Structure 1
Amino acid sequence: MNPLIISLGAGVLVGLFYALLRVRSPAPPAIALVGLLGMIIGGQIMAHVKPQPQASTITTHVDKVG
């Protein structure tokens, strides 16, 4: 399943839970959204800057006996 859909679903569930318990978010909505945007941008920058490990190919040699 797409990680973005899972993340969106989790966010909606937490939002509903907060609303049911009448818990106020510790940050004003605008500040929270700017912070989340910064996290996304930072993650994308690191994905392009930091080289990702490449999957190595393992080859095996099997001798036939007999």
Structure 2
Amino acid sequence: MTRTVLAYVISLGAGILAGLLYWLMGVATPAPPWQALCGLLGILFGEACVRRLRERLQRRRGRGTPAPSDRTTGKD
């Protein structure tokens, strides 16, 4: 099982456990289902955007720095 699949399985299990605990305590979930799902979608979208932005910035830094040469280091 890959790390990604394992993360999804753990997340699903945690959600089921939380739902079971809410049911056992007899309380309603803190947010209506559609609002909660929209919030989770926003979290996932934001995380993906930040990850892609970081990757893009790291690639630019890697390309933008020239390799040291004898002229720039002062060595002959």
Q: TM-score, normalised by structure 1?
A: 0.69
Q: May I ask how many residue pairs the two structures share in their alignment?
A: 53
How big is each residue's C-alpha offset from its partner over 1:17-56, in whole Å with a ceiling of 9 and x where there is no partner? Answer: 10111111121111011001110111111111124x8xxx
Q: Distance in 2 between matches of 1:45 and 1:9?
A: 26
In the alignment, structure 1 residue 23 sits paired with structure 2 residue 27: yes
- Aligned pairs for 1:35-54 (under 5 A) are 35-51=39-55
- Identity rate of aligned residues, in percent? 44
Aligned to 2:7: 3
In structure 1, runs of 5+ residues without a counterpart are 54-66
Cα root mean square deviation, aligned? 1.9
Stretches of structure 2 that go unaligned for 5 or more consecutive residues are: 59-76
Secondary structure in structure 1 of the residue aligned to 2:35: helix
SS in 2 for 1:50: helix
More helix, by proportion: 2
> Larger radius of gyration, structure 1 or 2?
2
